[in-house]
Each structure stands twice: as structure tokens, then as C-alpha cells.
Chain A
Amino acid sequence: MNETFKKIKQGIQNVFPDMGNVEITPETRLGEIPDFDSMAAVNLQTCLEEMFRLSIPLDLLNEEMTVGELAAYIEQPEKMRAAGGK
């Protein structure tokens, strides 16, 4: 989890360089990223898919999604799919 979280954090900082000094923690919601919108979600989706070689549904990357939940999905996508995205 820690390793995945670190990689996601790096990915977010790369895609959103204007994050500035906003601390990224597992509780950080994607909606806290400056200018995060549905098109920004497409950018993040591409970055994460390239990074983890995994298909990430766009509808998962909602502003309510936390970085920790995203890491959990990346580690065990089937588990979250079975739980209906929760």
C-alpha cells in the first residue's frame, strides 16, 4: 500500500504541478487538487494507467475519491469492483 501510495502521489504531483504545497495524504480527496475536473480526471487516468499498466475506469476518479481508496483499487481492483466501487 505504501509503495502504491507513493507512486500515486508522484503521479499526482507530475500531472498537477500546481499542487504547490498541498500535502497529499491517503485521505486527500481528488477534488482538493486545484482545477480538478472531469477533463483533469482523464489526464490522471492516463498517467495512472501508464504507471501501473492497469485499466482504471474514468468514473472511479470522482472528486470524492481519496488517494488511499485509489491505492486500494490499484492493489485489488476486483475487490472494489465486487463492492460496487466502495
Chain B
Amino acid sequence: MDILDPLGISSSLRRAFLSWLQDDAEFYRRLLGLYLDLQHALMEEVLRFLSGCKEESGKDLNEVLLGIVRNNAQSCRRYHVILTDWFRSLVAEAPGLERRERERAVFWMNQFARAFSPANLFWMNPAAVQKFMDSAGESIRKGFESWLEDSARGDYMLKITDGSAFRIGVNIATTPGHVVFRNDLMEIIQYCPSTPEVYSVPIVFIQPWINKFFIFDLSEKESFVRYLRDKGFTVFITSWKNPATELRHTTFDDYMLQGALKAVEVAMEICGTDKVHAAGYCIGGTALAALMAWMNAEPQGKSMPVLDWTLFSTLVDFSEPGEIGAFINEETIRIVEALMERDGYLDKNYIGMVFRLLGSESLIWRTYIHNYLCGGTPPKSPMLYWNSDGTRLPQSMCSFYLREFYMKNSLAAGNGLILGGRPIKLESIRQSLYAVGTRQDHICPWKGTFRTCSKTGGPARYVLSSEGHITGIVNPPSGTSRRKFWAGDTDGNCDPEEWLSAQQERGGSWWDDWAEWLIEKDSSLSKPPEAGGGTYPVLGNAPGVYVMEQ
């Protein structure tokens, strides 16, 4: 294990560059090409500079200075593009590298390219200089204050949103409901109905436990649970405890059985039904997939409590995990395990930093320019607020998740994975699946989510949405939406691109398509159930107490 290079950044780049020793003629040809491109750019930039000098007479000093900054920035950007394109292609086309090694090297090369952008330097960023002039230096003072504030927190995380603008339960996560169950791992929230009759089969959301549950209950307009409630569904959702040391030994099995399975049981008892629509998002979806296999392995005689199931941006086949694969190898997992050894959990800042690196252009560098160089206030965005409200991960679960799913791909490989005392076989799942992937997803690449349809034994409808891991899912119908989606039945045994080319592009959100699909499965109506009741009395109002834990 290399203490100085725990993420294997320099080793992956070194291997990429050294691989060119196998083909030094091509390397020197590329080097010559780079030299010529730079030479050509230099000549053009000198000519542009000379022609620009004539235009400066008659302008005031600030305009002249700004003109110089713009010209310099333009030249530097041009050199930056030439150099970074050259390095990128050198890494991406390095001979003889194994696929994961190549992807890792390209990922880190892209990080360096963004970090060394001229726009990240004050004098190379015309917008920052303009703000400085317009505000008589106030912008840089504010930027310095923001930097001091971030540094004082000690988490090395830029402030991506104005957290003071949001209060959970007051102007975010406000859909009325009740906590109807609580154990050491989660609370279950049952939302209040808004229609005189409701569909008899309730929806149970198994939320991810990386970040908080309220991604499905942001502002009123964006709230997925509010949308479903207004469509006439009874909605239950899991709100996971933010684990501390005492949950060190909590396992993936616990999330599956004491979490997801319990949520299904609570919803059925409160609604007086023997079936639910189950839906899981991201890691919550992975737990749901495992639970579906576990329930289908039930000895005969016990009825299956899930009528149909839905996965939002969920991987069950981790063979191509996308850019997150840059962080996953034996060495980094050992480091993560060593980090968890003392406290019994993986700190939210490590998880947060990984997600920020996956979207570093927006979540690091554009924020750095906005907050520090331009002295701007971070945006008041509910989605970014949710993004900043991270959670910890229990040691046992986290280690298992990384090793069994990301490293061994045990869930999809069918290599004898046993959870909750039963062998987990995805092909044993017979219930209808609705799977949603998103086109720009860095965390669960859509082609990986598409493969789920071929791994399970029931009929499947796949939906591809435009946008990313969050915005493609939190995707309310609206009069102005320019978003798109493609939907169709599939057994998943074809190339995802082929499937896509055969689907009709549809405008707007896929939410209505999902609601219709659920109603097709069971359209019976009944009186809305009471909040809680019987074994599960109301314990408090939504959004509960676990969501407040930092």
C-alpha cells in the first residue's frame, strides 16, 4: 500500500505513460504533433496580440486592463486545451493497459485538466477581474471570507449551497405525514392522503442510506412523494439512521431485512393489504433487488408480499461501475477499511469528496470560482442542500458492499452469494420490474442499469431518462420541461444502444408513465388508511428525527 498515493493516482498515470515505451515511434510522432500545434497557436496568438494593440487607444484604464486579461485568458485557454487534449489522448490510447486501469488513468487525467484550468486563477478569469473592478475589490474580500469560513470548518469542502436558506420540515421535506415505525436502523414515514379514495396497494420507497431520504421530498414542486400522494397513492418511505460507532457491526443483511423487509411489512399491516409496490433508489435499489431474490427463495406456502418492483438508477451488475471505478481497487478498499477501524464508520466527508470528484467541474471548480474568485454567495438550491447533507456508512456494511458488489460483482455473477441465510439468485425473481436509468449518470451508468432486466426472471419495462443520477429521477412533470425519456418493455438481452434506437423519444417526465404502470398492476380503490394503527402507532410527525442527525 502506497501511503503517499493512497488512491493510486500517480501509479495509474505512471503506468499509462510508461506503456508508451512499447511504441516509442508513435510517442515521438505525437510529441512532434504537440510541438507543431503549440507553435501554430503561439504564432496566431502573437498576431492577435499585435492587432489588438491598435484598438486600446481612447479606452479607460479598467477597460484596457480587462482587455489584457481577456486576451491573456483566451491565449492560456487555447494552450490549456491543446495540452490537456494531448495528455488525455496519450492516456486514453496508451498501449496495453487493462480496461479498468485505463479508465482510472483517464479519470485522474481529467481531474488534473480541470484543476489546471486557467480560469481557476484570478488573473486568468475575466469574470473574476470584472467583479473585482465593479465592486471596488469587495468581491475578493468576500471570497477570502468564504475561504476562511470553509477552512475553519476543517472538512476541506467548499460550500456548494447556502445552507442557511433551508430548514428540514419547514421549507424542505414538508409533505405532511407521520413516523409509524422506528428501530435502531430506520424510521418509516407514512404520508397523509390528499384524495378521498386511494389505490389499495401502497408504494414503499427503500431510500439510499448514502445521503438523506428527503431527495424525494424537496420543495413542494419537486416532491416525488407529494406527486404520488396527489395521484391517489399511499406512500411509505424509509428514513435511515445516520450511523455512529454503535452501528459498526450493522450489515447489508440488516439493511435488507430490518430495513427494506420491515418497511414492506409495516405498510401491508397499516393498509390492510397483502401486497405493495416496492421501489428502491441507488443502493436502496440494490438492497431491494437482493430482498426480492431473498423473498423468492422463501419456502413454498408463504405469499409474496411485493406485487411489482421498481429500481431508480440502481446497479445490480457492478461489472462496469463507471467513473466510481477509479476509486475501487484492493488497495483503496484496504485504506477505507483502515479508516473505518477506529470509529466504526466511513465518515461522510470521504463519501462527499468522492461524489464531488465525480462531478468536479460543477461541484468543485465552478463553485471555487463562484465563491472564492468572484466572491459570490452559494446558490439556494434544495437539491444542492440535500447533496451537502451527507451521512456516514457502517463499517461492516460498507466493507461488504465494496468487496462483494464492486470487486466481486457477487449479486449479478450468481457465485453463491448468501444473504439473510438464503442463496441470492436474481433469476428467481418473477415479479414485474420497472427500471429507470439516466443518461448522464456518473454513479450508476445507464447501460449497467439496463442489464438488470436480463438478470431477473420476470417481465421488465426499462425507462431511460435524460439528465443525471439525481435530476433524471427527481424529474417532476411541468409545463416547461425540456427533458426527455424513452420507455419500452425488454428482456434486457440486447445491446442497450440497440434498444434505445428502437424506442420513441418522449418529451417531459417519466413520472406519469410510472404512475400508469403501477395503476395497470392494480387499480382497486379503497378508503385512505389511518395513519399508523395496531402494532404500529404514530410516533411523531414527518419528517421524523433520524433525518435531523448530523
**Chain A contacts to B: CB under 8 angstroms:** 13-18, 20-21, 35, 37-43, 45-46, 57-65, 73, 80-82, 84-85
Given A17-B119, A18-B77, A20-B74; A59-B127 close (CB under 8 Å)? no
- Assess whether B384 is in contact with A59, with CB atoms less than 8 Å apart: no
List chain B residues, Cβ under 8 A from A40. Answer: 361-362, 366
- Assess whether A43 is in contact with B366, with CB atoms less than 8 Å apart: yes
Q: How many residues of B contact A (CB 8 A)?
A: 42
> What is the CA–CA distance of A64 and B480 in the complex, to the nearest angstrom?
13
- Assess whether A35 is in contact with B361, with CB atoms less than 8 Å apart: yes
- Assess whether A38 is in contact with B480, with CB atoms less than 8 Å apart: no
Q: Which of the candidate stretches B21-29, B151-159, B396-404, B462-470 sits at the interface with the other chain?
A: B462-470
- Assess whether B466 is in contact with A39, with CB atoms less than 8 Å apart: no
Given A17-B73, A20-B74, A62-B466; A37-B362 close (CB under 8 Å)? yes
List chain A residues, Cβ under 8 A from B359. Answer: 37, 39
- Assess whether A42 is in contact with B74, with CB atoms less than 8 Å apart: no
B97-129 CB mask vs A (1 if < 8 Å, else 0) is 000000000000000000001110000011100
Does chain A have a CB within 8 A of B458? no
List chain A residues, Cβ under 8 A from B81. Answer: 20
- Assess whether A15 is in contact with B480, with CB atoms less than 8 Å apart: no
List chain B residues, Cβ under 8 A from A58. Answer: 383, 471
List chain A residues, Cβ under 8 A from B383. Answer: 42, 58
- Nearest-Cβ distance from residue B375 to partner chain A, whole angstroms: 13
List chain B residues, Cβ under 8 A from A13. Answer: 126-127
- Assess whether B482 is in contact with A39, with CB atoms less than 8 Å apart: no
Task: Give 7 closest A-B pairs by Cβ, nearest first.
Answer: A17-B119, A39-B362, A62-B482, A46-B379, A38-B471, A14-B127, A38-B468
Does chain A have a CB within 8 A of B182? no
User: 16 A-B pairs, CB-CB below 8 angstroms?
Assistant: A15-B370, A17-B77, A17-B118, A17-B126, A18-B77, A35-B361, A37-B361, A39-B359, A39-B471, A42-B381, A59-B480, A62-B481, A62-B484, A65-B482, A73-B480, A85-B479
- Assess whether A85 is in contact with B78, with CB atoms less than 8 Å apart: no
> What is the CA–CA distance of A37 and B366 in the complex, to the nearest angstrom?
13
- Nearest-Cβ distance from residue A78 to partner chain B, whole angstroms: 10
List chain B residues, Cβ under 8 A from A73. Answer: 480
| Contact among B78, B370, B483 for A59, CB-based, below 8 A | B483
For chain B residues 335-380, which have a beta carbon within 8 Å of chain A?
A: 359, 361-363, 366-367, 369-370, 374, 379
The residue in chain B whose Cβ has the minimal distance to the Cβ of A30 is B482
List chain B residues, Cβ under 8 A from A18. Answer: 77, 117, 119
- Nearest-Cβ distance from residue A6 to partner chain B, whole angstroms: 14
Most chain B CB atoms below 10 A, which of A42, A63, A82: A42
List chain A residues, Cβ under 8 A from B470. Answer: 38
Given A18-B77, A59-B478, A62-B482; A39-B468 close (CB under 8 Å)? yes
The residue in chain A whose Cβ has the minimal distance to the Cβ of B477 is A59
Does chain A have a CB within 8 A of B223? no
Does chain A have a CB within 8 A of B440? yes
The residue in chain A whose Cβ has the minimal distance to the Cβ of B467 is A38
> What is the CA–CA distance of A64 and B478 in the complex, to the nearest angstrom?
17
| Contact among B78, B381, B466 for A20, CB-based, below 8 A | B78
Does chain A have a CB within 8 A of B139? no
- Assess whether A60 is in contact with B117, with CB atoms less than 8 Å apart: no
| Contact among A20, A42, A57 for B478, CB-based, below 8 A | A57
List chain A residues, Cβ under 8 A from B363. Answer: 39
> What is the CA–CA distance of A21 and B41 in the complex, to the nearest angstrom?
13
- Assess whether B369 is in contact with A17, with CB atoms less than 8 Å apart: yes
